[in-house]
Structure 1
Amino acid sequence: MYRGGGAGRRTMAATSEVLQSSERMTEAGRPDAVGPTTRPRPRMRLSTSRLATLFIVIFAVGVTLVLTAVYFLTARVLDNEVDAVINSEVNNLVDDYSRGGLLQLVATLHRRADGWGRTGAVYLLVENNGFPIAGNLARWPQVVSRYNDWVEFEIDASDAGGSVSHPVRAQIIRLPGNRWLLVGTDILDRSRLASRLRTAMFWGVGASVLLATLFGLSYSRRIRRRVKAVAATCESIMAGNLSQRLPVEPAHDEFDALATAVNRMLETIEQQTETLRTTFDSAAHDLRAPLYRARVRIEESLQHEGLADNVRETMDATLAELDRVQRTLGTLLQIAQTDGRGRDVPTEDVDVAALAQELVELYQPEAGNRNISLDYRGDATASVHGNRQLLAQAVVNLLENAIKYVPEGGKVEASVRTIGDSLTLTVADNGPGIPEADRARILQPFVRLDRDRDQVGSGLGLSLVAAVMRLHRATIELLDNHPGLLVRCVLPVRKEVATGVAFVTP
């Protein structure tokens, strides 16, 4: 940002020497491979895990409902079959009683008394006082009320040489003469079958849930792996490496179709970007020469004596405008080169704290001429792996921007501190600041606030800083300093990156 005047020219000349010195130090050794570092990212909320969990729950509930329905329907069928058998036997006995009275019924019960061994049938005919008349039960079961139609109870019976408790289901009917007839059947086999069905149901649900869990985890892991690969490639592309492409697998699924379409789009963008960059670079270089020649001619003309004052003033103004055009052009070229460099940027270990202190000392005389306090507060040494020249240019732009807008008698403070795995560079002032609504767009090229239209400048200073931060995979924030503006840049200290590419020290 050109500010006119001898002090401003001397400061800019000194700054240029610092940057050129940094560039010479950088050119001393170039790395073979350069890549971006990562910045802290918020923890992902894994939608694939939630989807897999939802699938497992729905599948488990569905299987449980199906198997439960099968179990209860099977148990109902077995109960109905048992009840039908008992009803048929009761009807036959009632018919015998109706035809031949009590003697016929007793004779029939005596003939069927051994039915327990063959069919598990249970019979008992008792008087109203409970005295047994006929049947294969010794007495009326104590837990059974005569006034229930259907009952279930247990009896002890000999089975395989031992006494075994057998469940029995029976029907009770009242006969004329206050006699009670109990007819039932052994349901031990049915109970065992129901128990096996329950066990099979539980094992079926467990196996189904296990298979669903394994499938869900496998699916979630596969989707997560593919998403991470796409995210890593996108991070590399955003860092300027437009030659990267999304991975395509032989599965030919929806992800591969999307990756193929995106890769075609990236090829088109890369071609257009390269064409635009080449055109811009050519235009910028072609404009530099005539601008430089015009500047030299004006400066030579100013050396001649006898020029009229109005002519000299006009030529001085023209020279100032040429300075502004040259600086704007140079800054635009720097932004374009910074955004387009990607992996071919020479890097080294840069002591940002020492660099900031050096530049603060360089700008203190100019700040003092405007009665502005310019100080450094922070660590004595703090290093990152990056491009020294570009980092120096970013610090210069932040200091110039602060000094430019802070009113006379104001204060500017630079700070560099290492916190954990990141380095924080801040430049704070007590000037007018930037409204919160304008902080995002002020980082775009040529964006200026309406209140600053009368200030000399092109609105590219913070844009260049943002481009340098993007190249170094860093973040830049514009915050309220209460009052004034606080610019915070957070650069990663670690060399490793998520894509497996690292800055390599020469």
Structure 2
Amino acid sequence: MAATSSTIIQSSERMTDAGRPDTGGPKTRPRPRMRLSTSRLAMLFIVIFAVGVTLVLTAVYFLTARVLDQEVDAVINSEVNNLVDDYSRGGLLQLISTLHRRADGWGRTGAVYLLVESNGFPLAGNLARWPQVVSRYNDWVEFEIDASEAGGAVSHPVRAQIIRLPGNRWLLVGTDILDRSRLASRLRTAMFWGVGASVLLATLFGLSYSRRIRRRVRAVAATCESIMAGDLSRRLPVEPAHDEFDALAAAVNRMLETIEQQTEMLRTTFDSAAHDLRGPLYRARVRIEESLQHEGLADNVRETMEATLAELDRVQRTLGTLLQIAQTDGRGRDVPTEDVDVAALARELVELYQPEAGNRNISLDYRGDTTAILHGNRQLLAQAVVNLLENAIKYVPDGGKVEASVRSDGNAVTLCVADNGPGIPEADRTRILQPFVRLERDRDQVGSGLGLSLVAAVMRLHRAAIELLDNRPGLRVQCVLPVQPQRLSSNVT
């Protein structure tokens, strides 16, 4: 029990609940919406950590308070048993004598005693009267008393046990629990500070971890964008931490090294084969042309040689287009770039192909902005527009219509070539962009199925999106090119 040096004045009218203190419940706040998975993971970690720490500290608080209550109750029970033994041995006079001897126990031990008659008249003890807010029919009660101390009157909480004695007399035995209440208050304060500090540390750690993960993911994404743009020499960053990300990055880097070696070998082989085949094909063409100039050739021989010459032209065009596609897909690091006015480029090419379209009574027009500038490769963009125009003129029937348009919104340039021809079924629009893919209905047409493939390769190089749409009727090829394709321009050496 706590020892104080004060004298009891009177019992107070105030009383507290004999139960445990109310620590209050946690306030639930609406959680902000998080779009990033790292932010959601960090928030989940903070919530789980905060709940765990709160549960642990709350359990420690209640267990400590329970132990303190049990100790206080044990002391009071022991004192009550001693007084009951005195009453059993010597009766009422013995009990009153014992209470008189212990009347000064408040100043030494904080003990509270009061023995009253059935009408409430006090017989012995250090309380002036029975507390009015305390019912005699409760076993355990808690109330407050005002005691004078050096600094004035101080309110002290008291926990007491009430015993009914023969003769309808009542005995109240209790002790001052001010120090216990102060200790419980300090425990609550420590618990709140502990939870707050733990949540703060968890928040700082979660934010730091989330930033680190986002930074690494952005670095990996940027490297992958460069690799997809054709820079196969780039590698994923590996940090000294040697964690799971570093292990994954190292494995991917080894894979990229193998892919780069194989790609370079295939590219070298393809370039060498293409260049080696150009010579024999050119010499064969020259010989056939020289032979056709000789007089006296039989008609069937001349027809055969002319057909062979046409086939050689087709093989040379196919080989040239294949080589151009391979070079376009693999030249992301060294492609020259400049500011290109796509609108002016499209108008020039439309004017160039209008005579050919006019021979087949096809209407070829340009509609759109007068200026649409972006950063790219002029030669490749021109080749893409040429392929789109030739493809449209080739498949549109006589008397049809082809329209080219260029629109700019400041961030992107949209190039469209639309016609009212047979179009392409929706199921075939994705695979038609692959090399050598042709529709069954077009098998009789002259071509190799590489025109749209080259357009798709040019769009990939410029980080652009290409889409084949239904023009109702006909086909509408739409290419959306960013004004500043940073992956393309940043790789120029």
TM-score of the pair, normalised by structure 2: 0.89
Contact kept, 8 Å, 1:23 with 1:389, in 2: the verdict is: no
Quote how far apart the aligned CAs of 1:482 are. 3.1
Q: Secondary structure at the match of 2:370?
A: coil
Indicate the larger mover: 305-314 or 78-87.
305-314
Contact kept, 8 Å, 1:148 with 1:172, in 2: the verdict is: yes
Contact kept, 8 Å, 1:476 with 1:489, in 2: the verdict is: yes
Change over 3 Å in CA distance of 1:387–1:173 after alignment to 2: same
Change over 3 Å in CA distance of 1:97–1:413 after alignment to 2: same
Contact kept, 8 Å, 2:50 with 2:195, in 1: the verdict is: yes
Which whole-Å CA distance do the structure 2 matches of 1:123 and 1:26 have between them? 19
Quote how far apart the aligned CAs of 1:479 are. 2.4
Which whole-Å CA distance do the structure 2 matches of 1:103 and 1:28 have between them? 32
Q: Deviations over 1:228-247 (max 9, x none)?
A: 11211111111111111222
Contact kept, 8 Å, 1:34 with 1:347, in 2: the verdict is: no
Quote how far apart the aligned CAs of 1:302 are. 3.4
Contact kept, 8 Å, 1:170 with 1:185, in 2: the verdict is: yes
TM-score of the pair, normalised by structure 1: 0.86
Indicate the larger mover: 368-377 or 107-116.
368-377
What is the percentage of aligned positions where both structures have the same residue? 90
Contact kept, 8 Å, 2:11 with 2:144, in 1: the verdict is: no
Change over 3 Å in CA distance of 1:34–1:455 after alignment to 2: farther
Q: Deviations over 1:23-53 (max 9, x none)?
A: 9999999999999999999999532222222
How many residues in Structure 1 have an aligned counterpart in Structure 2? 491
Change over 3 Å in CA distance of 1:15–1:174 after alignment to 2: closer
Contact kept, 8 Å, 1:350 with 1:388, in 2: the verdict is: yes
Stretches of 4+ moved more than 6 A in 1? 12-44
Quote how far apart the aligned CAs of 1:330 are. 0.5
Contact kept, 8 Å, 1:36 with 1:471, in 2: the verdict is: no
Indicate the larger mover: 72-81 or 453-462.
453-462
Change over 3 Å in CA distance of 1:378–1:440 after alignment to 2: same
Contact kept, 8 Å, 1:26 with 1:388, in 2: the verdict is: no
Quote how far apart the aligned CAs of 1:254 are. 2.1
Which whole-Å CA distance do the structure 2 matches of 1:108 and 1:319 have between them? 135
Q: Secondary structure at the match of 1:14?
A: coil
Contact kept, 8 Å, 1:26 with 1:346, in 2: the verdict is: no
Change over 3 Å in CA distance of 1:22–1:334 after alignment to 2: farther
Change over 3 Å in CA distance of 1:167–1:16 after alignment to 2: closer
Change over 3 Å in CA distance of 1:316–1:434 after alignment to 2: same
1:399: which partner in 2? 389
Indicate the larger mover: 462-471 or 293-302.
293-302
Contact kept, 8 Å, 1:34 with 1:502, in 2: the verdict is: no
Contact kept, 8 Å, 2:11 with 2:145, in 1: the verdict is: no
Which whole-Å CA distance do the structure 1 matches of 2:4 and 2:295 have between them? 32
Quote how far apart the aligned CAs of 1:275 are. 1.1
Q: Secondary structure at the match of 1:463?
A: helix
Q: Secondary structure at the match of 2:174?
A: strand
Indicate the larger mover: 89-98 or 314-323.
314-323
Change over 3 Å in CA distance of 1:313–1:392 after alignment to 2: same
Q: CA RMSD in A?
A: 21.5
Change over 3 Å in CA distance of 1:477–1:45 after alignment to 2: farther
Indicate the larger mover: 222-231 or 388-397.
222-231
Change over 3 Å in CA distance of 1:28–1:408 after alignment to 2: farther
Quote how far apart the aligned CAs of 1:284 are. 0.7
Contact kept, 8 Å, 2:112 with 2:173, in 1: the verdict is: yes
Quote how far apart the aligned CAs of 1:317 are. 2.5
Quote how far apart the aligned CAs of 1:72 are. 0.7
Contact kept, 8 Å, 2:372 with 2:407, in 1: the verdict is: yes
1:16: which partner in 2? 5
Change over 3 Å in CA distance of 1:32–1:275 after alignment to 2: farther
Which whole-Å CA distance do the structure 1 matches of 2:154 and 2:234 have between them? 78
Change over 3 Å in CA distance of 1:25–1:78 after alignment to 2: closer
Contact kept, 8 Å, 2:10 with 2:145, in 1: the verdict is: no
Which whole-Å CA distance do the structure 2 matches of 1:332 and 1:28 have between them? 91
Q: Deviations over 1:237-271 (max 9, x none)?
A: 11111111222222222222222222222222111
Change over 3 Å in CA distance of 1:435–1:111 after alignment to 2: farther
Which whole-Å CA distance do the structure 2 matches of 1:464 and 1:89 have between them? 101
1:55-94 correspondence to structure 2 within 5 Å: 55-94=45-84
Q: Deviations over 1:404-433 (max 9, x none)?
A: 223333322211111131111112223333
1:259-274 correspondence to structure 2 within 5 Å: 259-274=249-264
Contact kept, 8 Å, 1:34 with 1:344, in 2: the verdict is: no
Change over 3 Å in CA distance of 1:136–1:23 after alignment to 2: closer
The answer to whether the aligner puts 1:157 opposite 2:147 as a matched pair is: yes
2:370: which partner in 1? 380
| 1:142 corresponds to which of 113, 118, 132 | 132
Contact kept, 8 Å, 1:39 with 1:475, in 2: the verdict is: no
Higher relative contact order (CA 8 A, sep 6+): 1
Contact kept, 8 Å, 1:386 with 1:472, in 2: the verdict is: yes
Which runs of 5 or more structure 1 residues have no equivalent in the other structure?
1-11
Q: Deviations over 1:357-392 (max 9, x none)?
A: 111111222222333322211110111111111000
Which whole-Å CA distance do the structure 2 matches of 1:145 and 1:43 have between them? 54
Q: Secondary structure at the match of 1:137?
A: coil
Q: Deviations over 1:142-167 (max 9, x none)?
A: 22111111111111111333111111
Which whole-Å CA distance do the structure 1 matches of 2:434 and 2:398 have between them? 28
Q: Secondary structure at the match of 1:381?
A: coil
1:180-329 correspondence to structure 2 within 5 Å: 180-329=170-319
2:160: which partner in 1? 170
Which whole-Å CA distance do the structure 1 matches of 2:464 and 2:143 have between them? 80
Which whole-Å CA distance do the structure 2 matches of 1:22 and 1:338 have between them? 95
Contact kept, 8 Å, 1:418 with 1:424, in 2: the verdict is: yes
1:347: which partner in 2? 337
Q: Deviations over 1:84-114 (max 9, x none)?
A: 1111111111111111111111111111111
Change over 3 Å in CA distance of 1:33–1:464 after alignment to 2: farther
